[in-house]
């Protein structure tokens, strides 16, 4: 073998071998670029899911086409050389970051099990971790979330798989809690009556949703994954507003008002509106009160 014409596997020159690796990396970059460009074109014109999968198909087509063309023109379809190239590339990636492999595997699991989907409202981990967020995109390695404050959170797929995920879009309902404290001498029955009346009069608090809203909320309980989780068939009666006594201290009784809504992204607005209305009604009857959103 001449020093000027080094070979590696299957008679393929070292130059061609390295060219194949760099070309493959180039097509990976082009595939990702095509994905982002097509998403920009399709977003807003078709559904989020259609845009995502169309862009993903284009991305994989470019990558697979790149592997085919590179193997044909640079390695002359020498299977041993192709296997060696991909093997070395895999080793480099694995050594450089095992997290990449974990996130790719987690992305595959998310695609198969579908614990979260595009446009779902979720909380990942304990509530202070992400807060209530909407799923904006799911790639092989990263899930992109958008919080109520508008910020984007890039969450590794492995975190989605390994953390507690609360999916409010799957249940379709979200609980809102408001704490009301009144002096111990106050007529608690009247306070409960006023608090419940304010909840029943709010148009976005269950069960006061109107005919169409009640039908839509009730239909959620008939979805296969909800029926699989519960032996009984829940209805809106399970989500009536309630007032519970939480604690008594320093001459004050703390009550917790629990209400439910199907307007998940508007939870803060609904809680604020309810709290304002409840305080107005209580103060109109000269009831001393302290309140906060739990």
pLDDT 10s digits, 30-79: 888 888 888 888 877 887 677 777 887 888 888 888 877 877 777 665 55
Does the pLDDT at position 122 exceed 80? yes
SS3 letters across 185-240: CCCHHHHHHHHHHHHHHCCCCCCCCHHHHHHHHHHHCCCHHHHHHCCCCCCHHHHC
Q: For position 128, what pLDDT does the model report?
A: 53
How much of the chain, in percent, has pLDDT values that exceed 90? 18
Nearest to 221 by CA among 201, 237, 240, 241: 237
pLDDT, mean of residues 105-126 = 77
How far, in Å, are 40, 50, 143 from residue 35 at the CA level?
9, 13, 15
- Does the reported pTM lie above 0.85? no
Q: Are 145 and 125 in contact (CB under 8 A)?
A: no
Give the C-alpha separation, 156 to 36, whole Å.
18
pLDDT, mean of residues 172-195 = 91
Class of domain 172-293: alpha beta
pLDDT 10s digits, 76-94: 655 555 555 556 555 555 5
Domain ranges of the chain: 14-96, 115-167, 172-293
What is the CATH topology of the domain spanning 115-167?
SH3 type barrels. (2.30.30)
Residue 208 phi, psi (nearest 5)? -85, 75
């Amino acid at each position: 073998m001449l020093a000027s014409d080094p070979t590696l596997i299957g008679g393929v020159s070292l130059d061609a071998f390295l060219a194949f690796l760099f070309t493959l990396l180039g097509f990976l970059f082009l595939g990702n670029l095509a994905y982002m460009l097509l998403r920009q074109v399709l977003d807003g014109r078709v559904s989020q899911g259609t845009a995502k999968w169309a862009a993903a198909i284009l991305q994989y087509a470019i990558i697979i086409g790149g592997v085919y063309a590179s193997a044909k023109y640079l390695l002359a379809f020498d299977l041993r050389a192709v296997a060696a190239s991909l093997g070395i590339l895999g080793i480099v990636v694995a050594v450089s970051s095992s997290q990449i492999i974990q996130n790719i595997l987690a992305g595959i699991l998310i695609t198969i099990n579908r614990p979260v989907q595009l446009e779902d409202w979720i909380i990942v981990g304990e509530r202070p971790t992400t807060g209530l967020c909407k799923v904006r995109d799911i790639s092989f390695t990263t899930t992109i979330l958008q919080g109520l404050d508008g910020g984007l959170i890039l969450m590794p797929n492995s975190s989605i798989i390994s953390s507690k995920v609360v999916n409010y879009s799957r249940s379709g309902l979200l609980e809102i809690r408001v704490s009301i404290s009144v002096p111990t001498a106050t007529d608690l029955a009247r306070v409960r009556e006023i608090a419940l009346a304010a909840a029943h009069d709010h148009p976005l608090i269950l069960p006061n949703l109107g005919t169409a809203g009640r039908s839509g909320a009730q239909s959620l309980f008939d979805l296969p994954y909800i029926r699989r989780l519960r032996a009984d068939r829940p209805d809106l009666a399970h989500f009536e507003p309630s007032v519970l006594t939480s604690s008594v201290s320093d001459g004050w009784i703390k009550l917790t008002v629990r209400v439910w809504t199907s307007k998940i992204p508007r939870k803060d607005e609904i809680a604020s509106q309810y709290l304002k209305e409840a305080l107005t009604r209580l103060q109109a009857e000269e009831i001393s009160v302290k309140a906060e959103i739990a």
